[in-house]
Structure 1
């Protein structure tokens, strides 16, 4: 919700926070109806209210989880249950006295009445409506019951609800900021309950009283709440309150165009956090679900969204949640982090998962720089580094893709490479870094009369054990550093240069050639 500070339509600027909230709370039992801190752009206030009228599902733990998720996303509120404000309390469970006060006002004005119908009677009304193929509206007698009839039930102690008296004819319309004019025929609604027999107020009554007494100017929420707006509008009118401006955004849809649900993957913001997503990427992606700034740009910081967001560019149609696109966008935000922060995140991750024995090493810094282009989630950094440190020569040489490389006299290149390593020539070049490597490769290629792909593909296969990967010079230099620095843990699957050349020396090239012609058992010993 937003309390506006300007003209109507200008008090709240927001991204798809309703969907953020729904992801955060769908499985948690606490619903929080809130726009975002973007409401501040026109001098408004971002108000966070915990709507915990569902006593069974609403727990302190679920509330804390949702507030934590929203804080992680950077959706900072100006008023709420944790920080207070001038219009508290900010939990509906703490506002019962206020609801009862306004329910009594409606009773005194005749806008509501006591309904003593039992559950069995109400069920029969539904069955009758189904048979008659009409809307299941209330058909009981208590809307027109005499004072004597009511008093008789009160004296017997019969449980009752407070039921709102809906006009039988006419229509009601609102001007939705996204959907334009929306209208309903009142004869399809029927009298509805605002207070249960246990004295607990229902959702539609609570939010109406809350929005009015908290001076909410803008309510921006999912389109599935449109039917609730009819009931709320009637209550506003009966209590003499001015209605806030409503904007009903489209639901987020699954790839099959159904409503996004648990079966489609993660159901809370906290789960996305655990999966390695960045909060700024989540907000960026959710903002683009049904909104755009009119350009081809898809990369926005929160400050960008504050500046550019306008409610009139929100689409009416539902947007499909694309997990692949979200992951790609996370990668864009990850790589846009300041270099020192990105490196630290990678180092901390590798240290915490036991891949590195020490952090802040030159090895870790160079590994982060080398691998970042292929990593979209920080949690993917583990697999990326382990893959870099591995040496699957066995599988590579036995593959169909490597056949042309093997047939291009790979054994001769291997022989020359082994000689260069045994003599210390290659090790010295790698110790000198990129300049040393460049000089050595040029000399090695000249000696073996190879250049370009015919030189670099065999070297990549023999030194890394792979046909593809990050820049070969950086990869091999990094493997050399890992071999000499002691930064890498044994359980990382790291194969040192010494171990690689030991494996390389044991390759039976003649058998390998035959295997390529007629596949049999591998001629390449596996890394131990």
Structure 2
């Protein structure tokens, strides 16, 4: 049985880009006769808010999307909220530590930015981590630990390229060492996105990870973690983003993109779903249509392979 998911971060109101990804992920599973899971990625307690999580559920249901398992309906792989799954992430860390795949890092952000020889990181990141703390002696680590709590970094396998075929973006190659050793637990104890999402997807038996193109560069790190933890690697599919008329990723600065704003001013959900389907290449014009009616129109090959420039719909 194929299983997909949508995993929003409740750090603000759901917007057009989030909703488009949710719609495509939902259609991908419904058209395949698979199961759809909703997971709330609220692990960043500094940004996540319960009110935004509740609003996300309301917005998704208003759009006509449903889920077989999730924080409000339960399921066999509960809990579906990351803040309730911290023990699972600690278990994974213990397994990685036992395998010698982690090491403590005492470097500050300023230290990393100041490493002139460090190669550039993945995606929009700054310099890749140069491995400064990877080869510290026990005595050197003990000395640094007296003044600073360390983060934990995953040591990338030596000489291990990552190659995979993305279901939308096509063949991908990430050379060994891409992005440098990465943090799996911050110095303040917060588990990283990379670790939590790998554990969650495995625990919830996710076979298809469909998400935004901005997360494509996270994929090699998640594959490395899957392999280190002995977990199955899901199929990855990354949807190109929606950009505003200024060519930049659609965001709050473009105004009027929150799903709740359309709902509150009385926009029929079918009109917004039709617009989302149109900019996703699933229908030829932005006509009113329900999410359920789109299942028969779904064809992954019609999803654009490049970012789509849009104006915020006046509907």
Q: TM-score range by the shorter chain?
A: 0.7 to 0.9
Deviates more, 1:35-44 or 1:191-200: 35-44
Query: C-alpha offsets along residues 362-392 of structure 1, whole Å, 9 cap, x if unaligned?
Result: xxxxxxxxxxxxxxxxxxxxxxxxxxxxxxx
Higher share of residues assigned strand: 2
Residue 90 of structure 1 and its aligned partner are, at CA, apart by 0.8
Relative to structure 1, the CA distance from residue 98 to residue 300 in structure 2 (aligned partners, 3 Å threshold; closer, same or farther) is same
8 Å Cα contact 2:11/2:48 also seen in 1: no
Per-residue displacement from partner, 1:497-516 (whole Å, max 9, x unpaired)? Answer: xxxxxxxxxxxxxxxxxxxx
After superposition, the Cα gap between the structure-2 partners of 1:290 and 1:108, relative to the gap in structure 1 and judged at 3 Å, is same
1:14-29 map, 5 Å: 24-25=13-14
Residue 281 (str. 1) matches residue 277 (str. 2): no
Q: Which runs of 5+ in 2 are unaligned?
A: 121-126
What are the within-5 Å matches in structure 2 for residues 349-364 of structure 1?
none
- Residues 300 and 75 of structure 1, relative CA distance in 2, 3 Å threshold: same
Q: Does 1:307 align with 2:292?
A: no
Matched with 2:232 is 242
- What residue ranges of structure 1 are gaps of 5+ in the alignment? 328-528
Q: Report the alpha carbon displacement of residue 128 of structure 1 after superposing the two structures with TM.
A: 2.5
Please report the TM-score for the alignment, with normalisation by the length of structure 1. Answer: 0.53
**Displacement after TM superposition at 1:138 (Å):** 2.2
Deviations 1:283-328 (A, max 9, x none): 12112213235x679554323211220222211022232345x63x
40-49 vs 95-104, which moves further: 40-49
- Say whether the 8 Å CA contact 2:271–2:286 is kept in structure 1: no
Higher alpha-carbon deviation: 253-262 or 137-146: 137-146
Q: 1:244 to 1:157 in 2, by over 3 A?
A: same
Partner Cα distance (1:176, 1:231) in 2 = 15
Contact 2:43 2:82 (8 Å CA) reproduced = yes
Deviation per residue, 1:86-142 (Å, 9 max, x gap):
111111111000000001100110111122x142xx42332232xx47322323543
Q: CA RMSD in A?
A: 3.0
Distance 1:237 1:216, change over 3 A: same
Of 258, 278, 298, 2:248 maps to: 258
User: Match of 1:139?
Assistant: 130
| Bigger mean CA offset, 97-106 vs 223-232 | 223-232
Question: Against the structure 1 CA distance between its residues 18 and 208, is the aligned structure 2 distance closer, same or farther, given a 3 Å change threshold?
Answer: closer
- Who is 2:93 aligned against? 103
Aligned to 1:190: 180
Mapped contact 2:213–2:240 kept (Cα < 8 A):
yes
Distance 1:138 1:192 in 2: 7
Matches for 1:114-129 after TM superposition, within 5 Å: 114-115=104-105, 117-119=106-108, 122-129=109-116
Q: RCO (CA 8 Å, sep 6+): is it higher in 1 or 2? A: 2
2:177 counterpart SS class = helix
For 2:50, the equivalent position in structure 1 comes to: 60
Equivalent runs, 1:28-427 vs 2, <5 Å: 34=22, 35-36=25-26, 39-115=29-105, 117-119=106-108, 122-129=109-116, 132=117, 134-135=119-120, 136-150=127-141, 156=146, 158-292=148-282, 298=287, 300-324=289-313, 327=315
Aligned residues: 304
Q: Which moved more, 1:140-149 or 1:56-65?
A: 140-149
Which of the pair has more CA radius of gyration?
1
**1:297 to 1:268, Cα distance in 2 relative to 1, 3 A:** closer
